Structure 1
Amino acid sequence: MKEFVRNSRQGSSHLWWMALSLVLLLTACIVDKSEESVESEDAVEESEGPVKKEGAVEPVPLEHGDWGFPGLVDRSGEPIEVPTPGPATGKTLDITDFGADPVPDSYDDAAAIREALEAAEPGDEILMPAGTYDLRSTDPADKSANIVLRSGVDLRGEGQESTVLLTSLDGEDDSRVIRGSGVHDVIVADFTITSHHEGSLGDDPDNGDASGGPMYGIYLGAHEGQASSQVLVENLGIRRFERHAISVKASREVTLSGNYISEATAVGPGGQGYGIAIEGSADQRDPDAANDSRHNVVIGNTFDGRHLRHAILLQFPTHNNLVADNIIVGSHLDAIDLHGEGEYLNEVRENTVIGGQRAGIALGNSGGSKNKHDASGHGNWVHSNDLIGNRQGVLVILGTPDTLIEDNRITAAEDSKVGIEVRNAPGTELRGNHITGGTDGFWAIRLSKDRGADGRGIGIPSGIKIESNVIRQAANGIRIDAGEDLSLVENVVDDIDGAKQRVADGINGVKVE
Structure 2
Amino acid sequence: MKGSVQNSRRGLVHLSMVIFGLVILLGACTVEKSEEPVEGDKVVEPTPSGKDNAGESAQSEHGDWHAPGLVDRSGAPIEVPAPGPAAGKTLDATDFGADPEPNSHDDAAAIREALAAAEPGDEVLLPAGTYDLRSTDPDDESANIVLRSGVNLRGEGQERTVLLTSFDGEEDSRVIRGSGIHDVIVSNLTITSRYKGPLGDDTDDNDAGGGPMYGIFFGAREGKASSRILVENVGIRKFERHGISVKASREVTLSGNHVSEATAIGPGGQGYGIAIEGLANQHNPNATNDSRHNVVIGNTFDGRHLRHAILLQFPTHNNLVAENIIVGSRLDAIDLHGEGEYLNEIRDNTVIGGHRAGIALGNPGGSKNKHDASGPGNWVHSNNLIGNRQGILVILGTPKTLIEENRITAGEDSKAGIEVRNAPGTLLRGNHITGGIDGFWAIQLRKDRGSDGRGEGIPSRIKIEYNVIRQAANGIKIDAGQDLSIIENVMEGIDGEKLRVADGIAVSRSAQQSHPNEM
Structure 2 length normalisation: TM-score? 0.89
Match for residue 85 of structure 1 among 68, 83, 86? 83
**Counterpart residue number, 1:106:** 104
**Structure 1 residues 222 and 440: alpha-carbon distance in aligned structure 2, compared to 1, 3 A threshold:** same
- CA 1:412/1:50 → structure 2, altered by over 3 Å: closer, same or farther? farther
Partner of 1:61: 26
Counterpart contact for 1:484–1:510, Cα < 8 Å: no
Q: Distance in 1 between matches of 2:364 and 2:68?
A: 24
Equivalent position SS for 2:444: strand
Distance 1:483 1:509 in 2: 9
Partner of residue 232, structure 2? 234
CA distance in structure 1 between the partners assigned to 2:419 and 2:273 by the alignment: 25
Match of residue 351 from structure 1: 349
- Which of residues 206, 221, 241 is equivalent to 1:208? 206
AA of the residue aligned to 2:343: L
TM-score (norm 1): 0.90
Where 1:252 maps in the other structure, the secondary structure is coil
What SS does structure 2 have at the residue aligned with 1:97? helix
SS in 2 for 1:463: strand
Pairing 1:302-341 to 2, within 5 Å after superposition: 302-341=300-339
Using the TM superposition, give the Cα deviation of residue 205 of structure 1 relative to its aligned residue in structure 2, in angstroms: 0.3
**Which of 384, 387, 390 is the matching residue for 2:385?**
387
In the other structure, the counterpart of 1:432 is: 430
Shift of 1:48: 4.9
Q: Secondary structure at the match of 1:464?
A: strand
Q: 2:10 aligns with which of 28, 31, 47?
A: 47
Q: Describe the superposition over 1:255-295 as per-residue Cα deviations: whole angstroms up to 9, x where unpaired.
A: 00000100000000000000000000011011111100000
From 460, 471, 479, the equivalent of 1:462 is 460
- Looking at structure 2, the residues matched to 467 and 261 of structure 1 have their Cα atoms a distance apart, in angstroms, of 37
Shift of 1:244: 0.2
Q: CA deviation at 1:49?
A: 2.2
The question of 1:504 aligning with 2:502 is answered yes
For 2:403, which of 399, 402, 405 is the aligned residue? 405
When residues 469 and 48 of structure 1 are mapped into structure 2, their CA distance, relative to the original with a 3 A threshold, is closer
1:499 and 1:370 mapped to 2: Cα distance? 42
Q: Counterpart in 2 of 1:7? A: none
Query: 1:509 and 1:89 mapped to 2: Cα distance?
Result: 62
State whether residues 48 and 78 of structure 1, in contact with CA within 8 Å, keep that contact through their aligned partners in structure 2: no
Offset of 1:383 from its aligned partner?
0.1
Report deviation, 1:409: 0.2
Partner residue of 1:173? 171
Cα distance in 2 for residues equivalent to 1:56 and 1:158: 45
Alpha-carbon distance, 1:51 to partner: 3.0
Q: Distance in 2 between matches of 1:451 and 1:284?
A: 28
Distance in 1 (alpha carbons) for counterparts of 2:463 and 2:13: 15
Number of aligned pairs?
473
Mark the CA change 1:369 to 1:280 in structure 2 (over 3 Å): closer, same or farther. Answer: farther
SS of the counterpart of 2:449? coil
Match of 2:94 in 1: 96
Q: What letter matches 1:274 in structure 2?
A: Y
Could you tell me which runs of 5 or more consecutive residues in structure 2 were left unpaired when the two chains were aligned: 28-57, 512-519
Q: How far is the alpha carbon of 1:61 from its aligned partner?
A: 1.5
Query: Which residue does the alignment assign to 2:517?
Result: none
Offset from partner CA, 1:11-41 (integer Å, 9 cap, x none): xxxxxxxxxxxxxxxxxxxxxxxxxxxxxxx
Equivalent in 241, 244, 253 of residue 243 of structure 1: 241
Show the counterpart of 2:373: 375
The equivalent residue for 1:8 is none
Tell me which amino acid in the other structure corresponds to 1:487: S
Q: Is residue 2:133 matched to residue 1:135? A: yes
Distance 1:316 1:55, change over 3 A: closer
Q: Measure the CA separation in 2 of the matches of 1:44 and 1:445.
A: 30
Q: What per-residue deviation string (whole Å, max 9, x for no partner) do you get for residues 163-217 of structure 1?
A: 0000000000000000000000000000000000000000000101101000000
After TM superposition, give the deviation of residue 510 of structure 1 in Å.
3.5
**Matched residues in 1 for 2:124 and 2:75: separation?**
38
Partners of 1:203 and 1:67 lie apart in 2 by 40
- Give the Cα–Cα distance (whole angstroms) in 2 for the partners of residues 290 and 232 of structure 1: 19
Relative contact order (C-alpha < 8 Å, sep 6+): which is higher?
2
1:476, 1:498 within 8 Å by CA — same for their partners in 2? yes
Identity value in percent: 78
Change (3 A) 1:161 1:210: same
Counterpart amino acid of 1:264?
A
Amino acid in the other structure paired with 1:237 = G
**Displacement of 1:368:** 3.5
